[in-house]
Structure 1
Amino acid sequence: MKTTYIASALIAMALFASCKGDVKTTEKEVVQEVEEVVKEVKEVKVEKIKIALDAKSDSKATGSVVFEESEGMVSMMAAIHGLSEGTHAIHIHEKADCSSADGKSTGGHWNPTAQPHGEWGAETGYHKGDIGNFEADENGNGVVNFKTDEWCIGCGDEKKDIVGKAIIVHQGTDDFTSQPSGAAGARISCGGIIQ
Structure 2
Amino acid sequence: MLKRGTLFLCVFAVLGACTEQPPTKMDVEMFNSFGDSLGTVKLSEQPEGVKLELNLEGLPPGEHAFHIHEKGSCKPPDFKSAGNHYNPDDKKHGLLHPEGAHAGDLPNLIVGEDGKVKAEILAPQVTLKEGKTTLLTKEGTSLVIHAKKDDGMTQPAGDAGGRIACGEIKKMEGKGESKEEKHEREKTGENKAGK
Give the C-alpha shift of residue 70 in structure 1.
3.8
Aligned residues: 147
Structure 2 residue aligned with 1:47, among 12, 20, 24? 24
C-alpha distance in 2, partners of 1:132/1:60?
24
Structural RMSD (CA): 2.1
Percent identical pairs in the alignment equals: 31
2:134 alignment counterpart? 161
Give the C-alpha shift of residue 162 in structure 1.
1.1
Change (3 A) 1:48 1:177: same
For the 8 Å contact 1:49–1:194, the answer to whether it is kept is no
C-alpha distance in 2, partners of 1:132/1:147?
9
C-alpha distance in 1, partners of 2:155/2:48?
30
Output the amino acid matched with 1:68.
S
3-state SS of 1:105 partner: helix
Is 85-94 or 139-148 further displaced after alignment?
A: 139-148
Q: Which structure would you say has the larger Rg?
A: 1
Using the size of structure 1 for normalisation, the TM-score is: 0.69
C-alpha distance in 1, partners of 2:159/2:50?
27
Instruction: Structure 2: give runs of 5+ residues left out of the alignment.
Output: 1-21, 172-195
1:128 alignment counterpart? 103
C-alpha distance in 1, partners of 2:23/2:64?
30
Superposition pairs of residues 1-195 of structure 1, within 5 angstroms:
47-56=24-33, 62-71=38-47, 73-119=49-95, 123-153=98-128, 155-158=129-132, 160-163=133-136, 164-195=140-171
3-state SS of 2:81 partner: helix
Give the C-alpha shift of residue 63 in structure 1.
2.1
3-state SS of 2:24 partner: strand
Change (3 A) 1:90 1:192: same
Give the C-alpha shift of residue 144 in structure 1.
2.9
C-alpha distance in 1, partners of 2:124/2:163?
26
Describe the superposition over 1:121-158 as per-residue Cα deviations: whole angstroms up to 9, x where unpaired.
x54311000012011111011123112442111x2212
For the 8 Å contact 2:60–2:115, the answer to whether it is kept is yes
Describe the superposition over 1:41-94 as per-residue Cα deviations: whole angstroms up to 9, x where unpaired.
xxxx971010100112x5967221111114454211112211121101100001
Change (3 A) 1:117 1:54: same
Using the size of structure 2 for normalisation, the TM-score is: 0.69
C-alpha distance in 2, partners of 1:193/1:142?
20
Output the amino acid matched with 1:162.
L
